[in-house]
Homo-oligomer: A and B are copies of this chain.
């Protein structure tokens, strides 16, 4: 393979822009070759060209048919992910696809099938595996510092809830928000989830309840390797984005506190006050967004396995679907029950 990977980005929204800038500026092994966005503005076009993009179009097909492009990064709206993945695979492009591949299992399976058949690489955007904190915990576990994993605990709370309109189309808190935490849980446990039990409540915004979802949830997990775990989610932590992970085992425990904008404390008559956590995912996972793309480029160029596989996306989805079912049916749900649906 070539020394440089030419990449085309499909969808230049919030996440797409991050990948574009990372590829254009920080990854010497990649070249930003093209950008496609169905609502491409003149401003976006100028920006894309200033970053060196050769193909700038409203049509993703223009990227797929460009022979110089070796890989595409799919950041368009969720409902297009599966079809674009299938089309990209058919065009022989390696694929980085933002999560989720789709909100239905059948379309995800179809996309994975197409990828397998085409023999291209597919990496899913579960970026948190690349977070400096969470990766450090995993490294401790892999180095044997924690011993056998007994407990995985994940706290994941957003600074502000999404609009109820968004909630309605999001697939619900488990597919939209906790899916990142299911991936983190599987990553940290080094094992698949076999069963979940979900508890949920509407405590943040009654409109979320009216939209058929919950905004606060605790889900317990059983892993295949015998470990157990728990995830808690809230749609609104007034102090900011709360992202903590703890892994406890036979030889010790590793614990990640939140990242802060600085390390200053102010001591006065009111107490000793430090900063709130970094506000939201763009700030907190800035490094992780870059590192996942570095990893993808490296996997393609040197024919290594990708760090987050299509199958990971499917497993995370099973866990999310099981959690939803558990909440509705008030009973623990085995993943196998979902898998066989």
Give the interface of A toward B (CB within 8 A). Answer: 25-26, 132-133, 136-137, 140, 145-146, 148, 150-151, 153, 155, 157, 197, 199-201, 203-204, 216-218, 220, 222, 226-230, 232, 234, 236-239, 242, 248, 250-276, 330-332
Contact = CB atoms under 8 A, between A and B. Distances in A.
A248 B237 contact: yes
Given A257-B265, A267-B276, 17 more contacts: A136-B262, A150-B203, A150-B234, A151-B216, A199-B228, A201-B226, A216-B228, A218-B230, A230-B232, A238-B252, A239-B267, A239-B272, A253-B267, A254-B265, A258-B263, A260-B263, A271-B274
Contact of A132 (B197, B261, B269): B261
Contacts of A234: 150-151, 248
B226 A199 contact: no
B272 A275 contact: yes
A239 B262 contact: no
Nearest to A331: B331
Question: Which of A136, A151, A242, A255 has most chain B Cβ within 10 Å?
Answer: A151
Contacts of A199: 197, 220, 222, 228
Contact of A133 (B140, B151, B248, B263): B263
Contact of A230 (B230, B256, B275): B230
Contacts of A137: 264
Contact of A274 (B26, B200, B222, B272): B272
Given A254-B265, A265-B254, A272-B239, A157 B248 contact: yes
Nearest to A135: B262
A7 to B, nearest CB: 17
30 contacts: A25-B25, A133-B262, A133-B263, A145-B266, A150-B204, A151-B234, A157-B248, A197-B197, A201-B227, A203-B226, A217-B228, A218-B220, A220-B220, A220-B230, A237-B253, A239-B252, A239-B267, A239-B272, A251-B268, A252-B269, A253-B266, A253-B268, A256-B263, A257-B264, A258-B263, A267-B276, A270-B273, A271-B276, A272-B274, A331-B332
A201 B228 contact: yes
A239 B229 CA distance: 20
Nearest to A257: B263
A232 B272 contact: no
Contacts of A268: 145, 238-239, 251-253
A331 B332 CA distance: 6
A207 B341 CA distance: 39
Contacts of A136: 262, 264
A64 B232 CA distance: 50
Contacts of A229: 218
Contact of A262 (B200, B236, B256): B256
A226 B229 CA distance: 23
Across chains A and B, which 7 residue pairs bring their CB atoms closest together, nearest first? A252-B268, A239-B267, A257-B263, A136-B264, A273-B273, A132-B262, A271-B273
A257 B295 CA distance: 32
Question: Which of A253, A259, A261, A332 has most chain B Cβ within 10 Å?
Answer: A253
